[in-house]
Amino acid sequence: MSQADIAKRAQFDIIRYAQLWEDADVLTKAMGDVAGGTLVSICSAGDNALSLLTLDPAKVVVLDLSPAQIACLRLRIGAFQTLHHGEFLALMGARPAKNRAALLDRAVAPLDTETQAFWMDKVADVQAYGAGGVGKFERYFRLFRQVVLPLAHRRTTIDDIFVSKPKDARHQFLENRFETWRWNTLLKLFFSRFVMGRMGRDKAFFDHVEGSVSDHVARRIRHAAIDLDPVDNPYLHWILKGGHSDALPMPWREQHYNTIRDRLDRLDIRLGALEAFVESGEKADGYNLSDIFEYMSPDIAAQVYGSLLKASNPGARLVYWNMMAPRRVPEPLLTKVKTLTDLENELKAQDKAFFYSDFVIEEVLG
């Protein structure tokens, strides 16, 4: 099943991800020096495509099968153009706010009528949750936060997660206060393949996944809570508290705001599959592939991977994540790329988007 084929199996007329759940810090470090080059990015909610602008490329080609996900990026473009940084955070939901409907009006003003209509249909939800909280995945976490989490822990316990501690103390906190029998039971139920496939990710995205989803989530939570400091984790903040506090995703930080805004004209947004870029005859100097190979069978993933190599300049890096379906360069193509193992290991240890089990960086040889 190619990326185009997945459109026949999954829904793409809704916002699946209203914000990006992949760490732009590790993505941008993985790309290397791409100044003046052409980058290709899966859109999703658009945050990582925006983060790539900080690397000073000549162009970022942004692709997605979903008009709804493209609309998320277009809203961000309008927001960067019309709002100051604090207003952007309020609109997106990273900060509490009572004026999101008015901010939304301003953000969509420079956009096309179709995108304006798309977002005007969601004013009530944006006002309530922020534009970064209106996706299917975010609703899933909101249900978890409001209904499931209180059954396992008091608010004081959740607050204490975000008090900075040494690693040993974080380990003790998790084992002695957090991983109770009630928590473990609720986690197995709520993060099961059945529940997540119907309320979080599309069930078609689990076609090639093996093993227990809840066990995987439990392992990754331990990584986020012990190996990394939760205080600095924007994703954990949102899941457990419904906002970001001072921990922001990279492209939402104030130090990058003006740089991204000044380079918005370098985005080349295209509705369609990744294969459309390959067929255009263009060449890329780097790819943000999200976790697309995980949705494909190994044979189809190998075919798509081979086509990307033909559309790559020497030195281009293919950067992508795996959650539960292991995907790397197909064996017949091993001589075509170099795996940057040391950099992978360094960045995997830093990756705050803790759902993924693997982070891959492969460089095209000349």
Assess whether 128 and 7 both reside in one domain: yes
Would you put residue 201 in left (φ > 0), alpha (ψ -120 to 50) or beta?
A: beta
Which of 186, 220, 241 terminates a domain? The answer is 241
For a pLDDT cut of 70, what percent of the chain falls above it? 92
Average of per-residue pLDDT across 303-325: 94
Assess whether 51 and 200 both reside in one domain: no
Assess whether 16 and 89 both reside in one domain: yes
Assess whether 206 and 229 both reside in one domain: yes
For the chain, the average pLDDT equals 91
Average of per-residue pLDDT across 101-129: 97
Assess whether 28 and 168 both reside in one domain: no
* Strands annotated E in the chain: 38-42, 59-64, 267-271, 284-288, 312-322, 337-339, 358-364
Distance in angstroms (rounded) separating the CA atoms of residues 62 and 126: 24
Number of domains in the chain: 2
Kindly report the backbone phi and psi dihedral angles of residue 74, in degrees, each rounded to the nearest multiple of 5, phi listed first.
-65, -35
- Do residues 78 and 111 lie in contact, with contact meaning Cβ atoms separated by under 8 Å? yes
- Do residues 9 and 204 lie in contact, with contact meaning Cβ atoms separated by under 8 Å? yes
Assess whether 105 and 143 both reside in one domain: no
Assess whether 221 and 282 both reside in one domain: no
Domain of residue 81, CATH code: 3.40.50.150
* Residue 188 belongs to domain spanning: 136-241
Assess whether 72 and 111 both reside in one domain: yes
Which of 208, 241, 274 terminates a domain? The answer is 241
pLDDT in tens, 226-250: 999 999 999 999 999 999 989 999 9
Question: Over 50: is that where the pLDDT of 166 sits?
Answer: yes
Assess whether 8 and 128 both reside in one domain: yes
Distance in angstroms (rounded) separating the CA atoms of residues 226 and 176: 13
Higher pLDDT, 7 or 69: 69
Question: Over 80: is that where the pLDDT of 202 sits?
Answer: no
- SS3 sequence, 37-104? CEEEEECCCCHHHHHHHHHCCCEEEEEECCHHHHHHHHHHHHHHHHCCHHHHHHHHCCCCCCCHHHHH
Average of per-residue pLDDT across 316-324: 93
- Do residues 108 and 116 lie in contact, with contact meaning Cβ atoms separated by under 8 Å? yes
pTM (whole model) above 0.75: yes
Classified as helix, coil or strand, 27 is helix
Name the DSSP letter for residue 178: I
Distance in angstroms (rounded) separating the CA atoms of residues 357 and 343: 16
